[in-house]
Chain A
Amino acid sequence: MINKIGQRLSMALVNQQKLSGFFEPLIQMFLSSYSANKHRAKVIRINDENKRVFTLVLKPSSQWKGFNAGQFIELIIEQNGVQMMRIFSISSAPCLFKSKGIIELSIQKQEKGRLTGWLHNTLNTGQLVNISAAKGDFTLEEGHQEPILLIAAGTGITPFRSILNQYKNTSNIHLIYYAKNSQHLFTQELKELEQQSSSTSVAFINSDESGRICQQHLEKYCPDFTERNHYICGPSEMIQTTQQLLLDNNIEDEHINFEYFGAKPISNVNIDTEGKVSFIKSALQVNSNNTNKQTLLELAESSDLKPMTGCRMGICHQCKCEKKQGVVYNTLTKVFSDTGAEEVQLCVSIPVGDVSINL
């Protein structure tokens, strides 16, 4: 109620949803990176895990409300005038945040990616970045009893590092962890966890030698897997294969949880990629094909959606919509978009691979 009155008053007096939105540019003169809608976090240090992965240690401001093991945050940082946003799972445990006030993000440097490599080179100790509140429901249920099986591949280990550290003394958790060329992250730490806690066990699998996940692996590395709750994190093919495998073993859908990791980096896509365009609000999906390339606007309209439109030539900006994820090609500026969330003009954007639009 008070919120609503505050919002109406703010709209009337300063044409902003929040009064702080009006004062934001002035406050930023004294508090760098101040934001009316986001939290601030200070960079404590950067640890290199290996050549490609580094851990960013952050201390969020006191207003940040904490998180549950397995959740992610949005990291927002200005790069050449653009507010760049990326989603990262928190790889440290909530108990560490409670005791020391810090959180850790483990970030893989994407080859030719726009942001991750830059982050590693640019961020300095003491610098301020913006983060969102913790989000996501890839978490263990409150007061769960069942034993747990975690299946990770590559950097998909990050939410599980948090879960393992948080529940090492209270839950029966087994982890099967795949990595190419035995490039497992946090090997030392995970081995120590295994030694400290009788209820935690880890199987490291070199996927170059043993291949991808299969029935034999499950039976060999976790004989009682049918009696466990399952959590899967890794590349999308790995998630799909594992999910199907578990379903084939008569494990109920509700006991299978999974978390997809971001869209493909721009370097991996080209304009000829076919894909699925998802319109989130209207729960519709259409296929975009190569032979007859269509703009997002045409695709939306062909599925009987009626987004706000105007000039249909990229001038009036009325058809702008939030793209949640995926890459689009702007026919006007001839540039590929970023992979994360941002506003796109539907009438001049061609989807490149899978794209989800908030429409």
Chain B
Amino acid sequence: MNISLNTQQYTELAQDLDAIRDHHLKDLGQIDSNYIRKIIRIQRSAEILGRIIMVLGFIHPLFWIVGVTLLSIAKILDNMEIGHNVLHGQYDWMNDDHINSRNYEWDIACDASSWKRVHNYEHHTYTNIIGKDRDFGYGLLRLSDDIPWRKKNLWQFITYFNLSALFEWGIAYHEMAGERVFIGKKKADRNQQISDKILKKKFFGKISRQVFKDYIFFPIIAGPMFLPVLIGNALANLVRNLWTSTIIFCGHFTEDVKTFSEKECENETRGQWYYRQMLGSSNLTGKRWFHIMTGHLSCQIEHHLFPDIPAHRYVEIAPKVQVIAEKYGIAYNTGSFFKQYYGVVRRVIQYSFPDKQKLKKA
């Protein structure tokens, strides 16, 4: 059980974490730009080779398997270590036309600017505040007793599985659902900056480009290999969907991750904001390649504390954050992939059922 800190401690917590942040922001340079360029080169090579080798499946099915694997890796790298991090502005200081949060567009159904609105702003500012962070359960899953139980929650494990398999479509539609663009009653406090018309145009534009690429263009130019390439592309997208959704669920919906109410977070100080970010996230331990394939979301705590520091630095930052957590007696939620994923599954199932405490009281 976490006890809240006093005002003095919150101030000191903010100072300690700001010191880490300042150190790394000052240190940005060639190492970081070389790193992201190297990852981009690996991603591009994997994508090109993957698409070509997949077509060679007519020689031996093994080629097809290698091709699909490479394309899956390319899509995961593009979405996680490159796209997600570049869109957070982690590399904007490089002043590079192609590697910045304004111009980057990624290989996923979700339009990058929509992602920046919902994810970078809503989710990162209001992390795990029930009612404000729509990423908490995505409006589909009940993952806390703060959310009233409904009958549909009984089969939410199946909903969860479907969401994982179709994850890219889920996040593409996420903002449209929140803004009630197609169905539902419009909310009074809507973001008026973008009209429904533009939202729809961007939404359909991006999904049609993605569908055209993976399910029309590349299958057609593969000629007689049309069907294997079509299936291979679909499979690569599925692998990416399952992987990203699993990693993201491990970052926020493990058993011990805390939620907050809107009231608790009114007039929040920087220290309190940091505190909430630490309790609202959980980490995964693993090897270097594993961290890269998760886009360093395996260091979800560090990512939430410092969303615009180049993610490859999180591994180095994590032990320091852990020391700070200990100093203030704040829980630091970390563990192996299997331990954390088991926690996610338990949480999804646990909250499928009504709140026992409340039932008793009633």
Q: What is the interface of chain A, defined by CB distance below 8 A to chain B?
A: 11-13, 15-16, 21-26, 28-29, 36-37, 78, 80-85, 306, 308-311, 313-318, 320, 333-334, 342-343, 345
Residue of A nearest to B31 (CB): A81
Contact of B124 among A11, A306, A315, A334 (CB under 8 A): A315
Given A315-B124, A316-B121, check contact A37 B97 (CB 8 Å): yes
Contact of A310 among B25, B40, B120 (CB under 8 A): B120
Beta-carbon contact of A318 and B117 below 8 Å: yes
For the complex of A and B, 9 pairs with smallest distance between CB atoms = A81-B33, A317-B89, A310-B121, A316-B120, A316-B121, A15-B105, A12-B209, A83-B95, A80-B29
Beta-carbon contact of B92 and A317 below 8 Å: yes
- Smallest distance from the beta carbon of B33 to chain A beta carbons, Å? 3
- Smallest distance from the beta carbon of A212 to chain B beta carbons, Å? 37
Q: Is B98 on the interface with A (CB-CB < 8 A)?
A: yes
- Smallest distance from the beta carbon of B133 to chain A beta carbons, Å? 13
Residues of A within 8 A of B88 (CB): 317
Given A15-B105, A316-B120, A317-B89, check contact A81 B32 (CB 8 Å): yes
**Can you give 6 contacting A-B residue pairs, CB < 8 Å?**
A12-B213, A23-B44, A310-B121, A315-B121, A316-B120, A343-B100
Residues of B within 8 A of A85 (CB): 95
Beta-carbon contact of A311 and B44 below 8 Å: no
Contact of A333 among B25, B87, B107, B116 (CB under 8 A): B25
- Smallest distance from the beta carbon of B50 to chain A beta carbons, Å? 13
Docked CA distance A26–B102 (Å): 22
Contact bitstring B103-145, A, C-beta under 8 A = 1, else 0: 0011100000000110011001100000000000000000000
Contact bitstring B29-69, A, C-beta under 8 A = 1, else 0: 11111100100110011001000000000000000000000
- Smallest distance from the beta carbon of B109 to chain A beta carbons, Å? 12
Residues of A within 8 A of B193 (CB): 306, 308-309
Given A11-B209, A26-B45, A82-B93, check contact A343 B102 (CB 8 Å): yes
Beta-carbon contact of B89 and A320 below 8 Å: yes
- Smallest distance from the beta carbon of A17 to chain B beta carbons, Å? 8
Beta-carbon contact of B106 and A15 below 8 Å: yes
Given A12-B212, A21-B98, A310-B121, check contact A317 B116 (CB 8 Å): yes
CB within 8 Å of A: which B16-37 residues? 22, 25, 28-34, 37
Beta-carbon contact of B125 and A316 below 8 Å: yes
Beta-carbon contact of B217 and A12 below 8 Å: yes
- Smallest distance from the beta carbon of B162 to chain A beta carbons, Å? 26
Contact of B101 among A12, A13, A309, A317 (CB under 8 A): A317
| Extra inter-chain contacts (19) besides given A309-B193, A343-B95, CB under 8 Å | A12-B209, A15-B106, A21-B97, A24-B98, A25-B41, A28-B37, A36-B98, A78-B33, A81-B30, A81-B33, A81-B94, A82-B93, A308-B193, A310-B125, A316-B120, A320-B89, A320-B102, A333-B22, A342-B95
Beta-carbon contact of A343 and B44 below 8 Å: no
Residues of B within 8 A of A318 (CB): 116-117, 120-121
Docked CA distance A333–B116 (Å): 21
Contact of B94 among A23, A83, A334 (CB under 8 A): A83
Residue of A nearest to B39 (CB): A25
- Smallest distance from the beta carbon of A358 to chain B beta carbons, Å? 11
- Smallest distance from the beta carbon of A148 to chain B beta carbons, Å? 38
Contact bitstring B169-184, A, C-beta under 8 A = 1, else 0: 0000000000000000
Residues of B within 8 A of A315 (CB): 120-121, 124-125, 307-308
Residue of B nearest to A313 (CB): B125
- Smallest distance from the beta carbon of A75 to chain B beta carbons, Å? 13
Beta-carbon contact of A82 and B95 below 8 Å: yes
Docked CA distance A342–B92 (Å): 9
Residues of A within 8 A of B266 (CB): none
Identify which of A23, A333, A345 gathers the most chain B CB atoms within 10 Å of its CB: A333
Docked CA distance A342–B37 (Å): 20
Residue of B nearest to A37 (CB): B97
Given A311-B125, A318-B117, A343-B95, check contact A81 B44 (CB 8 Å): no
Identify which of B22, B92, B95 gathers the most chain A CB atoms within 10 Å of its CB: B95
Residues of B within 8 A of A15 (CB): 105-107, 209
Residues of B within 8 A of A313 (CB): 125
Docked CA distance A18–B319 (Å): 42
Beta-carbon contact of B213 and A13 below 8 Å: yes
Residues of A within 8 A of B316 (CB): none
Q: Is B189 on the interface with A (CB-CB < 8 A)?
A: no
Contact of B44 among A22, A317, A345 (CB under 8 A): A22
Contact bitstring B70-96, A, C-beta under 8 A = 1, else 0: 000000000000000001110011111
Residue of B nearest to A8 (CB): B209
Docked CA distance A287–B317 (Å): 41
Identify which of B37, B98, B102, B117 gathers the most chain A CB atoms within 10 Å of its CB: B98
Docked CA distance A12–B212 (Å): 7
Beta-carbon contact of B97 and A317 below 8 Å: no
Beta-carbon contact of B209 and A84 below 8 Å: no
Beta-carbon contact of B117 and A25 below 8 Å: no
Docked CA distance A36–B87 (Å): 21
Given A81-B34, A310-B121, A317-B101, check contact A343 B92 (CB 8 Å): yes
Docked CA distance A252–B246 (Å): 70
Identify which of A310, A316, A345 gathers the most chain B CB atoms within 10 Å of its CB: A316
Docked CA distance A320–B44 (Å): 27
Residues of A within 8 A of B25 (CB): 333
Contact of B95 among A23, A84, A314 (CB under 8 A): A84
Docked CA distance A122–B356 (Å): 70
Residues of A within 8 A of B32 (CB): 81
Beta-carbon contact of B29 and A81 below 8 Å: yes
- Smallest distance from the beta carbon of A37 to chain B beta carbons, Å? 5
Docked CA distance A318–B88 (Å): 9
